[in-house]
Structures are given as C-alpha cells and as structure tokens.
Amino acid sequence: MLRPFALTACAGLLLLLAGTAIAQSQPAPAPGMEGAQEPPRPLEPFVASYEVHNNGRALGNATMQAVPLGGARWRVDLNLKGGGLMRLTGLNLQQSTLFDNVGNQYRPLSQALVKRVFLSNRKTIGTYDWNAHSARWTGDVKKTRQRPVPLQPGDMSGLLINLAVIRDAQPGKTLQYRFVDDGRVRDHFYQVAPQTELVQVGELSYDAMRVERVQPAGSAPSSEQTVIWVAAGVPTPIRILQREDGKDTTDLRLTEYH
C-alpha cells in the first residue's frame, strides 16, 4: 500500500515520532480476517531495497525497513529517492510510523511524513491517542483533514497495512482493514488470489501470492488499484504496484533484503 509509503527515516523523523508517542493501553484485536487457516505470520525485522518505476520508466530507489525498538515498540520506515533524470527534480519521500506490536496486532502511535519535489516541501505529523480514541494530524495538512479522527480498535496507517497484508495473506482469503492516515479514514478490502504465481525479481524468482485491493460490493468503482505480492518466508513485499485509470503509476520491485 504505497499511499502513503514508509521507510528509513532520518534522525529528525525519529525524534518527531518518539516525541509524539503517547502512553497506551493494551490494544484490542484487529477486526475482520475471514476464515483463518493458519496462524498469522509473526513480524520480523528487515531492511529491503527496491527499484521504483513510474509508468514503465525508472524513477529511483526505495528502502523499507521494520525496526524493533525494545519491548512491544517498533518502527516501520519508507524512503524513496529519485534517480537518474528524476534526481534533478529533488524527489525525496520519507515516511515513518511508530507502533506497538502486541499479540501480533499493529497499533500506530505516531507518524511522520516529509515529501520534497521540485520547489515543494511538505511535512506532517500524526498522533494516535488511544486513551482519547482520537487521531490528529498537524503541519502541511489540508484544513478538512485537521479535525480529530475517532479511532477504532484495529485502525492502522498505510505502512502498517502493508505489514498486515504480509502477516495475514493466505490463498483465497479476503482481508479487511480500516485505513486511518493523513486525516483520512477508509475501509480497505483485499482479495488474495487462490493460486500463487511466479514473480521474477532480478535473477531470482518467487512463488508469490497476489493480493489485490478490491472495492466492496455495491460501492462506486475506483480509478485507483493497488496490488501487493508476498511470498512465504519473505518478511517484506516482493512487489507493490499502484495503478490509476488502468495505467501503472508507482511500481516497487524488490532487489534485496536482509
């Protein structure tokens, strides 16, 4: 789930995240995975590198990581930098979500985003206050998104949903999450293909599950599409593809991880 992304955040982001985290009570179980056949995959630390493509053209490189901070506390980061001609635009995206992992459920505590492109510079900070059951974003946020957002058990940021898909994906399964990010609230539904498929990554190939975001029955069709490929034993997505109006926009392809 690339909107928003996340990865190796700079020290400034870490300080912002740590400074905005609030003491939390124990999280409630996340809603809604249908027909669990196997235990969810446990969260593992990782650092993964990706090539980023846009509409078939090389855009740059990205890094995604999940970092244990002690106890139940973790941080997931995403960092995207333009390469080649795109480097001249100054493209740079950094996202981080600080969260607790209790009972293999991911509960966001705070979030930071820094996005630079051309002469534009956007910074936002989000705080998830589970005592008050409310989340709020400050910084370069639209006025319509500055109001407090009521929180529900299981709410996650976009980066955490990426991790949750890896945790929950099983062939033929339907996944449901509540996306609460950047002042927005949306229900996200994903369908896991019944059969795995071969995904080529450089000189390696993976037998991967295709997980596609779908629209619930009766809802208006969306011009946006997100597809995530995950493979058994790999703690990070093999590939993340975003499409708009039937055309590829942002495509992250794994090159290595450890």
- The dihedral over CA atoms of 258, 182, 29, 218, expressed in degrees to the nearest 10, equals -110
Residue 86, domain member (yes or no): yes
User: Is the dihedral angle over the CA atoms 154, 108, 44, 241 positive or is it negative?
Assistant: positive
Residue 1, domain member (yes or no): no
Residue 106, domain member (yes or no): yes
Q: How far apart are CA 194 and CA 68, in angstroms?
A: 33
Provide the pLDDT for residue 84: 63
Provide the pLDDT for residue 28: 43
Residue 110, domain member (yes or no): yes
Q: Along the chain (258 residues), what's the average pLDDT of each consecutive run of 10 residues?
A: 42 44 42 58 96 85 97 97 64 93 96 85 96 97 93 97 97 97 95 96 89 80 85 95 84 94
Angstrom CA distances, 181 to 160, 206, 209, stand at 10, 31, 26
Q: Which residues pair with 100 in a beta bridge?
A: 73, 107
Give the total number of structural domains in the chain. 1
Residue 5, domain member (yes or no): no
Provide the pLDDT for residue 29: 44
Residue 100 domain boundaries: 11-257
Q: Which of 31, 45, 47 is closest to 151 using CA atoms?
A: 31
Residue 186, domain member (yes or no): yes
Provide the pLDDT for residue 50: 96
Residue 178, domain member (yes or no): yes
Spatial neighbors of 220 by CB under 8 A, at least 6 apart, are none
Residue 170, domain member (yes or no): yes
Contact 13, 96 (CB under 8 A): yes
User: DSSP letter string over 192-252?
Assistant: E-SS-EEEEETTEEEEEEEEEEEPPTTSPP-SEEEEEEEETT-SS-SEEEEEETTEEEEEE
Tokens at residue 154, please?
């299981």
Tokens at residue 251, please?
């495509």
